[in-house]
């Protein structure tokens, strides 16, 4: 017996179609939503993507800056571990995860 899928969550650095992983994540979100699955898109950027919103995809954004902006050493450290992103994801999962 298959269990009912309550929600599909996609996590991506950004929600701009820039190719690569972001492009795959965005297209996957659209395709899954078109099949009738509820989809939430967690993104590290500002979450501005009208096409995802129009498709009925929930967007939850961290509002972070591009990794390459700012001081190089800070960007390198943030690229290895971003405590804001960790807290953002942990908080959302704690509030929304289901069995």
pLDDT in tens, the chain (99 residues): 456 889 999 999 888 887 788 999 999 999 999 999 999 999 988 999 999 999 999 999 998 765 555 556 565 555 567 788 899 999 999 999 987
- 3-state DSSP helix/strand/coil percent for the chain, to nearest 5? 45, 15, 40
- The model's pTM: 0.81
């Amino acid at each position: 017996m298959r269990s009912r899928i309550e929600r599909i969550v996609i996590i991506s650095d950004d929600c701009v179609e820039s190719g690569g992983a972001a492009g795959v994540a965005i297209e996957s979100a659209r395709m899954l939503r078109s099949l009738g699955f509820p989809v939430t898109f967690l993104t590290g950027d500002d979450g501005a993507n009208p096409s995802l919103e129009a498709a009925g995809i929930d967007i939850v954004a961290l509002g972070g800056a591009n990794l390459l902006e700012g001081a190089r050493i800070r960007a390198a450290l943030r690229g290895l571990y971003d405590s804001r992103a960790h807290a953002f994801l942990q908080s959302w999962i704690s509030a929304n995860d289901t069995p």
